Structures are given as C-alpha cells and as structure tokens.
C-alpha cells in the first residue's frame, strides 16, 4: 500500500474535523508520510506533530479514518528528526547484536563502550567511518578528528561547528564521541540537543533539582551541545549554559558546540556567551560539491545493498544540491518507490519518484534572514526594527508578516520563530499568524503584497 496515497485519502476524510490552520500544520505542512510497516503508519514530523498524534483523541480520529477506508492500520507513529531515546536504543540494540562476535574477544571494554555510547545517547551509525569527506567539509572533519584523537587541550577548545541544516554537524559530533570512547571507554561523554538541555533544565528548576542537573552536565570529559541557536533569548537557560561551559572549560575538559550560523549572527544571544563560543576554534561546513554528492550517494546505495545505476545517482546529485539529508531522502524515495511500484530502478523510475520534491529543491534556499530582508524591504523598515521590541504599527505589522511567512515556508516551531524576533512568546507568534491570515482575507492589497514577497523568495 502506498503511504502517500493513503495519507492523502485520510487527510481528505479528516479535513472538516479540525480548524483549518491547525489541520494545515499537523496534517499537511509538518508531517510527511513515510511508510507502512507491520500495520503501523509512519509519519515524519516535528516534535509537536508527534505530540499531536500521540494525543488519544487525535489518534483515535485518525485510526477511525483508516478503518473507514478499509486500511488495515493499527497504529500511527511519528518519527522526529531529533531521534528519541527509544529509537536510539533500538539502533543501538541492532548494532550490539552485530558486535556479539567481537564481544568474546574484548568483552569488558566493549560492554563498557556500549554502555557509554548509550549513556551519551550516541547514534551508532554516526561515526567517522560512515562520513564521506570532501572539500566542503574536510576542515570541519579534521578539526573534529583532532579533538577526538588528542588527549591534550589546546587552542581548538571549544570547537564551534556551524553550517546549514542537514550538512552533517550532528553526525560529526556523534563521531567525536564514538572515537573518544573507542580509545578509552571509561571517558564520560555528554551529547545533548539544545532542546533537551532546555527542557531538562526547566524541569529540574521546577522540581528544585538544580544541583543534580548541574552534576550530570558538569562532571564530564567531553560536553557537546547541538544547535545552540535555540537557546538564544531564553535567559535562565543561557545563564545555566554559561556556568556549565565555564565549569567544564576550567576543569580542562573538551567542549563542542554546533549552530546553524556563526555565534556573531545568532540574534539575542548574550555577548558573554558569544565571546566564550568563539574563544577556541570556529569552523564551518558548506553545502557539498558535485563529486562529494556523488560519493555520498554511492556510499549510501552500497550500504543499502542496492544496485543503483550510475545515471540515477548522477540525476540525484545533479538535482539535489544544498543538503545531505535531502540527498539521502531523495535516494530513499527512489528505492521505496521502486519497491512499492515493483519497477526496477532506472532513470525513468527515479524521475517519476522525485517529480514532486525536485521542484522545491531547485528553488533558492529560503531562510529566516532572507525572509526578514524581503519583508523589511517591502515595508520600508529595517531588519533590526523587525528584531526589536518596538511595537508601533508600522513595524509591528511587517514583523507579523515575517512571522507568518516563516511559519509557512520554513520548518520552524512557533517558539523558535518567537526567538528569532527578539525573544517573543509562542502565543505572540500564534496571534501574529492569525492576524495576518485575517488581514489577507480582508484586504486584497495585503494579500497581493504578501504573495509577491513569497514568490520573490521562491526565486
């Protein structure tokens, strides 16, 4: 059964059940059907999509719609990009089985290592061995290997990695962890996403368990925190990270941080954190060039044990340029499509499988800064004013428009949009989006103006 088609039918059925804007976010925009396995329907989505479909009522609605369509589906599961602990443990279990033979040789060390890998929540697949090196990432890889291989602390501590989404930052951080544990399984390693750091800290704060939180994140040999741009603007969390940073650093231990942009471009991040972040080594990862894209695709298809003709690999490498996650996604889509349609993998099948997604990849990358610039331009204000606290009408409305466009064009949560505009609350963002939706309904001029901005953004 085709997950895409089934999802389309189910969403058609449920369309009237939910308010329009909510329906659009959870059923259309933020969720992607991936596959049906053992009568479980898998979606890929954001954390809030996961929460939504884990809610009993929503789940029951969806399962009912499946059964009305005579589809034999017992459950729906949302896989987020940030792998949950459960999924990590699942992958870990698989990899442990494979390691059974080796365990006999070096049982203790391996056991210790796999425990440390589990404690550090490292994805077993993200190692240096599975990372393809090319001109776009070789400096970053060299810096990461150096951190992993040397026992001394040098000027490259902390290491700050930055680059666009899907270019391998998370992969490299996990690879550092694996390498260090391979050399010494007794090392204590923490890898944490900024989202988890924030949540755990706020929970600890509420339950007055700050001291335990502190111990957990400070007594380590290597502290890695991913996507620090998400912490910007959350004052108590910034404060905590600042102290964690100082403790780990002054104890002579290693620190690795990542972000989608260099520290100086993270809005509303405290200056003292910015200066800490750049005090060691800062390296960026660029989008991969053609030959690296080819190499990655070849590597992944060998790994999947699929015989994929060269012309198909060339076709994907030619068309998917900006992001390695999308590159992988495109390859998976071709493989899945050929399996579901029982067609052999050739250029025609690949074109057919990718016809929808390639349109969106071809357009110029849309990011928050470009949205802000376009909106500012169109309304005769500055980007700084959009980011500021000013609430005069001539600035507030363009700001709301920028929030609305960001929500529609980027894969970004309401709280993160709020952070991008001077640390505003997610309810403010929600209100802004509603306001713009209303204005679009009311005024043809506003509607056309916003459509123009969106079409300009799309190149």
Contacting range for ligand ADP; rule: CB under 6 A; set: 167-175, 248-256, 360-368, 401-409:
167-175
Binds Mg ion by CB under 5 A, chosen from 157, 170, 301, 323: 170
How big is the site for ligand ADP, counted in residues (CB under 6 A)?
16
Binds ligand ADP by CB under 6 A, chosen from 296, 368, 381, 417: 296
Q: Is 431 left (phi over 0), alpha (psi -120 to 50) or beta?
A: alpha
Binding to ligand ADP by CB under 6 A, coded x per residue (else -) over 71-110, reads ----------------------------------------
| Least spacing, CB of residue 168 vs Mg ion, in Å | 8
User: Is residue 325 a contact residue for ligand ADP (CB under 6 A)?
Assistant: yes
Between 169 and 424, CB nearer to Mg ion: 169
- For 271-294, the DSSP string reads HHHHHHHTTSEEEE-PPP-HHHHH
Estimate to the nearest angstrom the gap between the alpha carbon of 229 and the chain centroid: 12
| Least spacing, CB of residue 167 vs ligand ADP, in Å | 4
Instruction: Please give the angle made by the CA atoms of 51, 420 and 328, to the nearest 5 degrees.
Output: 60
* Rounded distance between C-alpha atoms, residue 330 and residue 76, angstroms: 23
- Write out the two tokens for 277: 């972040």
| Least spacing, CB of residue 14 vs Mg ion, in Å | 32
3-state class (DSSP) for residue 69? coil
Contacting range for ligand ADP; rule: CB under 6 A; set: 65-73, 166-174, 350-358, 373-381:
166-174
Binds ligand ADP by CB under 6 A, chosen from 45, 124, 168, 267: 168
User: Is residue 170 a contact residue for ligand ADP (CB under 6 A)?
Assistant: yes
User: Is residue 165 a contact residue for ligand ADP (CB under 6 A)?
Assistant: yes
**14 neighbors 61 (Cβ within 8 angstroms):** yes
State phi, psi for 5 to the nearest 5 degrees: -65, -45
By beta carbon distance, the residue nearest ligand ADP is: 168
Binds ligand ADP by CB under 6 A, chosen from 137, 198, 367, 413: 137
- Tell me whether residue 287 is exposed, middle or buried, using C-beta atoms within 10 angstroms of its C-beta: 0 to 12, 13 to 18, 19 or more: middle
* Rounded distance between C-alpha atoms, residue 168 and residue 63, angstroms: 36
| Least spacing, CB of residue 173 vs Mg ion, in Å | 8
Between 300 and 372, CB nearer to ligand ADP: 300
Between 6 and 144, CB nearer to ligand ADP: 144
* Rounded distance between C-alpha atoms, residue 56 and residue 33, angstroms: 20
Residues in the chain: 459
Binds ligand ADP by CB under 6 A, chosen from 145, 284, 328, 377: 328
- Does residue 158 have a cis bond before it (omega within 30 degrees)? yes
Q: What distances in angstroms separate CA 255 from CA 76, 180, 193, 222, 225, one per listed residue?
A: 38, 13, 14, 6, 8
Q: What is the DSSP letter of 27?
A: I
User: Is residue 324 a contact residue for ligand ADP (CB under 6 A)?
Assistant: yes
Task: Point out which residues bind ligand ADP (CB under 6 A).
Answer: 126, 131-132, 137, 163, 165-171, 296, 324-325, 328
Residues that bind Mg ion (CB under 5 A): 169-170
């Amino acid at each position: 059964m085709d997950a895409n088609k089934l999802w389309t039918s189910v969403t058609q059925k449920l369309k009237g059940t939910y308010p329009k804007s909510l329906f659009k976010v959870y059923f259309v925009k933020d969720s992607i059907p991936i596959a049906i396995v053992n009568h479980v329907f898998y979606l890929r989505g954001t954390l809030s999509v996961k929460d939504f479909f884990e809610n009993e009522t929503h789940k029951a609605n969806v399962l009912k719609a499946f059964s009305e369509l005579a589809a034999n589906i017992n459950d729906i599961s949302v896989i987020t990009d940030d792998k949950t602990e459960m999924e990590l443990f699942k992958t870990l279990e698989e990899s442990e089985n494979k390691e059974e033979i080796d365990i006999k040789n070096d049982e203790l060390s391996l056991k210790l290592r796999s425990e440390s890998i589990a404690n550090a929540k490292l994805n077993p697949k993200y190692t240096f061995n599975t990372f393809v090196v090319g001109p776009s990432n070789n400096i970053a890889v060299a810096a990461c290997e150096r951190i992993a291989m040397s026992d001394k602390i040098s000027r490259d501590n902390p290491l700050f990695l930055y680059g666009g989404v899907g270019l391998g930052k998370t992969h490299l951080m996990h690879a550092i962890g694996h390498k260090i544990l391979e050399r010494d399984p007794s090392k204590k390693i923490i890898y944490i996403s900024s989202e988890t750091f924030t949540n755990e800290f706020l929970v600890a704060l509420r339950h007055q368990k700050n001291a335990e939180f502190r111990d957990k994140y400070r007594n380590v040999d290597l502290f890695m925190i991913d996507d620090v741009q998400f912490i910007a603007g959350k004052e108590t969390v910034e404060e905590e990270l600042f102290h964690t940073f100082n403790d780990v650093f002054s104890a002579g231990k290693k620190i690795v941080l990542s972000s989608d942009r260099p520290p100086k471009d993270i809005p509303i991040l405290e200056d003292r954190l910015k200066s800490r972040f750049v005090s060691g080594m800062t390296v960026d990862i660029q989008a991969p060039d053609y030959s690296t894209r080819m190499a990655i695709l070849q590597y992944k298809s060998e790994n999947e044990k699929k015989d994929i003709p060269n012309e198909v690999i060339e076709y994907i490498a030619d068309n998917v340029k900006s992001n390695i996650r999308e590159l992988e996604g495109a390859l998976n889509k071709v493989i899945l499509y050929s399996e579901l349609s029982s067609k052999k993998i050739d250029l025609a099948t690949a074109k057919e499988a990718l016809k929808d997604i390639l349109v969106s990849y071809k357009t110029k990358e849309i990011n928050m800064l470009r949205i802000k610039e376009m909106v500012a331009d169109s309304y005769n204000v500055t980007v700084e004013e959009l980011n500021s606290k000013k609430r005069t009408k001539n600035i507030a409305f363009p700001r709301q428009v920028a929030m609305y466009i960001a929500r529609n064009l980027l894969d970004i949560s309401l709280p993160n949009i709020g952070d991008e505009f001077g640390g505003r609350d997610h309810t403010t963002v929600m209100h802004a989006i509603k306001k713009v939706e209303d204005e679009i309904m009311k005024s043809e001029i506003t509607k056309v103006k916003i459509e123009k901005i969106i079409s300009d953004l799309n190149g």
